[in-house]
């Protein structure tokens, strides 16, 4: 071990302690010769272990040797001082010769073709693993520091295996969502170990202790290799730092995870190899493993989906737009009122949601077509159509004109066609119409023939399209809210009625727009694929009294 090097691995710590014990024994007169001799032998064995492993392991390739030398002789402190790296990177975090060859061997023996590395540093581990990959193999290496990509690339270029490596800079958690890999080597960001683990479908959550973890899955055969330095924890699992506590808890968890088989090889920092094992038929079904490996909450995510919500400038539409965006969708906020649409789009943007605003009067077919065209030209498609915009006109039935009926009908039933055409063409779509509890009961004492009949029409429209289009991949459902506490009901004419309504609602309160958000996400997601033509009533029990 170089003189200035702090003992790092368990063997190095052992050598350090034995050296100190032997020095004490040598300097003391009363120590029996036999004890001195035992200490010397133990020291010889401990200090000879790493050099022996180095010597007996296949020599590294020239590009690897050069990369190692350049890494350990690089002035990482200076690089950090110059602001080229965000963090001060210790040269010790490089994966060395024996570990590198072990990784290469694991890749080779498992016949992995697609490998992911989280935490590349200067690329020693990446290049070692690439050497073990077949010609058409691919390794994606994630690295937080752009400087390290520049550092590593020339070495990759020199190696015939470097072309198998794709480096992605930035936080690995952001770069990687759902991807399929045969093997994953995690060597960074200990706080996120569990989350990395959970990124991959079909896998049970597991945590990793110090050391590498290689996890093998029986179905699609992805495996994991994960590494953490084990220097903060000694063999008796004494917990001295928060990091070692995390690692300890992680190890504890792995030991107790069902369907996991694990072994730790005490090589330098330690290599834990973990693979999932099948416990037979019961645990192979989708209830146990999740549909396509996705847990129920994952199945309700809308990542990559494009949605629009009409009437999204306020009230229910605004809540829908937020909910769909929070679940991962890109959202077009559509409203008659330009300022309101823009404000809600800005709100979404502030939350990191990809959003645009569109001003449109959806009772006009020209506006509807323009809305669809705008979304398709911006995002290429539409997956989720929330036809929510509505109007409420109150008049006694004998005073209701045909025009009023037509306006209500036009507004509530207008949008389906244009969005439907896009969806039918692509063979996928989720249409969610906002109907109303008024489709089931006749709300009173207010008089609202046009509203009630047009909302009943929305339900029948939903049922008709829902059954007509499902075999072409388009599901159509509607949500029927009860009386929602929105600006609409604070109009002068409706406000005095609120007390009366409350006495008709078993839940004892009006609905809040947030009461409806989970429903829209569910109907927009794949989790509701078997539901079509359904009227999902959310009214605090009002229609039952």
Ligand X SMILES: C[S@@+](CC[C@H](N)C(=O)[O-])C[C@H]1O[C@@H](n2cnc3c(N)ncnc32)[C@H](O)[C@@H]1O
Active-site residues: which are they?
Answer: 451
Burial class (CB in 10 A: 0-12, 13-18, 19+), 201: buried
**Helix (H/G/I), strand (E/B), else coil: 434:** strand
153 binds ligand X (CB under 6 A): no
For residue 352, how many other CB atoms are within 10 A of its CB? 9
- Tell me how far CA of residue 461 lies from CA of 290, 434, 454, in angstroms: 33, 11, 10
Tracing tokens 């003189």 back to the chain, one arrives at: 3
Mark the segment that binds ligand X (CB under 6 A) among 139-147, 269-277, 520-528, 534-542.
139-147
d(CA 134, CA 504): 70
**Which of these segments, 137-145, 206-214, 372-380, 423-431, binds ligand X (CB under 6 A)?**
137-145
Using CB under 6 A as the binding rule, whether residue 93 contacts ligand X is answered as yes
* Binding status of residue 459 toward ligand X by CB under 6 A: no
The CA–CA distances, whole Å, from 116 to 32, 164, 196, 417 equal 55, 12, 11, 44
Q: Give the shortest CB-230-to-ligand X separation in angstroms.
A: 12
Q: Does 148 bind ligand X (CB under 6 A)?
A: yes
Q: CA nearest 21: which of 10, 35, 8, 6? A: 35
Nearer to ligand X, 42 or 93 (CB): 93
Q: How far is the CB of 74 from ligand X (least distance, A)?
A: 12
- C-alpha 294/C-alpha 531 separation (Å) is 19
76 binds ligand X (CB under 6 A): no
Q: Does 144 interact with ligand X (rule: CB under 6 A)?
A: yes
Please pick, from the candidates 25, 152, 165, 172, the single residue that binds ligand X as defined by CB under 6 A. Answer: 172
Among 14, 15, 18, 94, binds ligand X (CB under 6 A): 94
CB contact at 8 A, 252 and 211: no
Q: Cα(104)–Cα(115) distance, rounded to whole angstroms?
A: 11
Only one of the segments 11-19, 120-128, 345-353, 441-449 lies at the binding site for ligand X (rule: CB under 6 A); that segment is 120-128
Does position 200 interact with ligand X (CB under 6 A)? The reply is no
Phi then psi for residue 334, to 5 deg, are: -110, 130
Q: Report residue 138 as tokens.
A: 């691919």
Task: Decide: is 95 part of the binding site for ligand X (CB under 6 A).
Answer: yes
Of 119 and 132, CB closest to ligand X: 119
Give dist(CA 408, CA 391) in Å, integer.
7
Nearer to ligand X, 119 or 311 (CB): 119
- Decide if residue 67 touches ligand X (CB under 6 A): no
The reply on whether position 189 binds ligand X by CB under 6 A is yes
User: Which among 10-18, 41-49, 168-176, 459-467 is the span making contact with ligand X, rule CB under 6 A?
Assistant: 168-176
CA torsion sign for 197, 198, 200, 204 is positive
63 contacts ligand X (rule: CB under 6 A): no
Number of residues that bind ligand X (CB under 6 A): 21
Comparing CB distances to ligand X, the nearer of 165 and 344 is 165
Q: Write the interaction track for ligand X spanning residues 287-326; mark x where CB under 6 A is met and - where it is not.
A: ----------------------------------------
Q: Decide: is 187 part of the binding site for ligand X (CB under 6 A).
A: yes
Angle of CA points 355, 358, 361, to nearest 5°: 145
Among 14, 112, 140, 142, binds ligand X (CB under 6 A): 142
Q: Does 125 bind ligand X (CB under 6 A)?
A: yes
379 Cα distance to chain centroid:
21
| CB 141, min distance to ligand X, A | 8
The piece of 115-123, 158-166, 294-302, 412-420 that touches ligand X (CB under 6 A) is 115-123
> What is the spatial order of strands in the sheet that 138-143 belongs to?
165-169, 138-143, 114-118, 183-186, 223-226, 213-216
Nearer to ligand X, 189 or 326 (CB): 189
Looking at beta carbons only, is 25 or 120 nearer to ligand X? 120
Is 273 or 355 the residue whose CB approaches ligand X more closely? 273
What is the separation, in whole angstroms, between the first and last Cα of the chain?
A: 82
Closer to ligand X by Cβ: residue 124 or 320 = 124
3-state helix vs strand vs coil in the chain, percent to 5: 50, 15, 35
Q: Near ligand X by CB under 6 A, which window of 73-81, 181-189, 296-304, 362-370? A: 181-189
- C-alpha dihedral sign at 33, 38, 41, 47: negative
Instruction: Tell whether residue 105 is a contact of ligand X (CB under 6 A).
Output: no
Helix (H, G, I), strand (E, B) or coil at 432: strand
What does DSSP say about strands 213-216 and 223-226: parallel, antiparallel, or unpaired?
Answer: antiparallel
CA distance 36 to 23: 9
Q: How far is the CB of 120 from ligand X (least distance, A)?
A: 6
Residues near ligand X, by CB under 6 A: 89, 93-95, 118-121, 124-125, 142-145, 148, 171-173, 187-189
């Amino acid at each position: 071990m170089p003189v200035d090097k702090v003992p790092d691995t368990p063997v190095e710590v052992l050598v350090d302690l034995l050296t100190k014990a032997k020095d004490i024994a040598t300097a003391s007169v009363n120590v029996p010769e036999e004890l001195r001799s035992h200490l010397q032998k133990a020291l010889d064995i401990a200090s000879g272990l790493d050099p022996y492993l180095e010597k007996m392991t296949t020599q590294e390739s020239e590009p690897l040797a050069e990369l190692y030398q350049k890494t350990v002789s690089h002035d990482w402190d200076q690089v950090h001082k110059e602001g080229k790296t965000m963090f001060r990177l210790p040269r010790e975090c490089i994966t060395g010769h024996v570990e590198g060859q072990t990784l290469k061997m694991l890749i080779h023996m498992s016949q992995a073709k697609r490998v992911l590395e989280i935490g590349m540093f200067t690329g020693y581990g990446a290049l070692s693993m690439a050497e073990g990959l077949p010609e058409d193999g691919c390794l994606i290496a994630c690295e937080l520091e752009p400087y390290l990509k520049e550092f590593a690339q020339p070495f990759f270029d020199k190696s015939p295996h470097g072309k198998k490596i794709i480096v992605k800079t930035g936080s690995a958690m952001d770069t990687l969502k759902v991807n399929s890999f045969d093997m994953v080597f995690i060597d960074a960001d200990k706080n996120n170990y569990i989350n990395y683990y959970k990124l991959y479908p079909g896998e049970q959550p597991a945590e990793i202790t110090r050391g590498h973890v290689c996890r093998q899955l029986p179905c699609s055969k992805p495996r994991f290799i994960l590494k953490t330095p084990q220097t903060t924890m000694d063999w008796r699992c004494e917990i001295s730092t928060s990091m070692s506590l995390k690692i300890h808890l992680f190890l504890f968890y792995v030991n107790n995870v069902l369907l996991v088989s694990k072994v730790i090889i005490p090589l330098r920092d330690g290599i834990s190899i973990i693979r999932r094992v099948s416990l037979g038929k019961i645990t192979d079904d989708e209830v146990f493993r999740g549909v396509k490996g996705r847990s129920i909450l994952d199945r309700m995510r809308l990542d990559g989906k494009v949605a629009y919500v009409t009437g999204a400038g306020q009230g229910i539409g605004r809540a829908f737009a937020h909910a769909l965006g929070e679940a991962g969708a890109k959202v077009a906020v559509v409203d008659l009122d330009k300022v309101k649409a823009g404000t809600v789009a800005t709100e979404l943007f502030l939350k990191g949601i990809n959003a645009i605003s569109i001003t449109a009067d959806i009772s006009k077919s020209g506006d509807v077509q323009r809305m669809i065209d705008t979304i398709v030209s911006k995002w290429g498609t539409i997956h989720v159509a929330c036809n929510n915009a509505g109007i409420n006109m109150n008049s006694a039935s004998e005073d209701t004109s045909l025009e009023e009926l037509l306006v209500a009908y036009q507004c509530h039933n207008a949008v389906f066609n244009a969005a439907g055409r896009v969806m039918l063409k692509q063979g996928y779509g989720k249409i969610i119409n906002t109907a109303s509890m008024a489709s089931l009961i006749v709300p009173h004492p207010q008089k609202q023939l046009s509203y009630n009949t047009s909302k009943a029409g929305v339900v029948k429209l939903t049922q008709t399209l829902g059954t007509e289009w499902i075999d072409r991949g388009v599901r159509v459902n509607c949500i029927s809210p009860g009386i929602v506490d929105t600006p609409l009901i604070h109009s002068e004419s409706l406000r005095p009625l609120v007390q009366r309504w409350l006495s008709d609602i078993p839940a004892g309160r009006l609905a809040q727009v947030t009461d409806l958000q989970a429903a829209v996400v569910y109907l927009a997601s794949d989790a509701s694929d078997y539901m079509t033509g359904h009227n999902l009533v959310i009214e605090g029990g009002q229609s039952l009294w």
